[in-house]
Amino acid sequence: MTIIAGPCAVENREQAFAVAETIQRTGGEFFRGGAFKPRTSPYSFAGLGEEGLKILAEVRERFGLRVVTEALDESTVDLVEKYADMIQIGSRNMQNFTLLKRAGRSHLPVLLKRGMAATLEEWLLAAEYVMAEGNGNIVLCERGVRTFSQHARNTLDLAAIPAMRRLSHLPLIVDAAHGTGHNYMVGPLARAGVAAGADGVMIEVHPNPAKALSDGEQTLNLDEYQQLVRQLNAIQELVA
């Protein structure tokens, strides 16, 4: 089981290092953090850009963690390749075919999130755009779909996990943060995802979620994260 954890957005060096130290101490290998953030509101914090990528590169050098971060277009893929270890394609860009083709020409693996209204077939065809350009190193990420539900930000589609097991050989993780939108739901849905057979989970972590500049309401603090890691490891041992 793989855990990809970190803040929704890189805010400063101190924040990133505090989270990275906790991830390293709990046996994690992957650090996620946004330098470019596609936000619903144009007035929301949209990331530090290349300065954020430089902080991520420092995290990799100091803590030995592989860096996962989002690219929004072809030009930001160039920057992500320079500083990171894995290109994230967000849900809003799942069918940005120009971006998918550019990621397909990259030497870095690709984390492809499911679009908020995408069928499994559409999701897999998006992956085909990447593979058709020569890059077969793809990880799928179920991050919830838009439904009529009002109790959660999105509806995390746990049924997609066994369904994709039949449809594809690609590894699959679940994003329990965006899939719920509420930090009290992250733990239960992450545990359910691992129990359902996911290869890993993506979790948002911040030293002080109440002061996070992006998605603090769905973010765990450092103690909550450490407790969840112990639970996920226990579940993985049972279902492995």
The string of pLDDT tens digits covering residues 149-195 is: 899 999 999 999 999 999 999 999 999 999 999 999 999 999 999 99
- Supply the pLDDT for residue 46: 87
CATH of the domain at 46: 3.20.20.70
- The 3-class SS string of the chain reads CEEEEECCECCCHHHHHHHHHHHHHCCCCEEECECCCCCCCCCCCCCCCHHHHHHHHHHHHHHCCEEEEECCCHHHHHHHHHHCCEEEECHHHCCCHHHHHHHHCCCCCEEEECCCCCCHHHHHHHHHHHHHCCCCCEEEEECCECCCCCCCCCECCCCHHHHHHHHCCCCEEEECCCCCCCHHHHHHHHHHHHHCCCCEEEEEECCCHHHCCCCHHHCECHHHHHHHHHHHHHHHHHHC
Rounded Cα distance, 187 and 197, in Å: 16
Distance of alpha carbon 149 from alpha carbon 145, whole angstroms:
10
Residue with tokens 């991050």: 143
Cα→Cα distances 89→65, 94, 104, 230, 236, Å: 20, 6, 11, 28, 27
- Please list the rounded mean pLDDT of every run of 10 residues in the chain (240 residues): 96 98 96 92 91 98 98 95 98 97 98 97 98 98 94 96 97 97 98 97 98 96 98 93
Q: Are strands 86-89 and 172-175 parallel, antiparallel or unpaired?
A: unpaired
Q: Are 209 and 179 in contact (CB under 8 A)?
A: no
Task: Sort 80 into a burial class: Cβ within 10 Å, 0-12 / 13-18 / 19+.
Answer: buried
Angle between helical axes of 97-104 and 120-132 (0-180°, round to 10): 50
How many structural domains comprise the chain?
1
What is the model's pLDDT at position 107? 97
| Residues 233/200, Cβ–Cβ less than 8 Å | no
Measure the CA–CA gap between 65 and 34, rounded to whole angstroms: 15
Domain that holds residue 172: 2-239
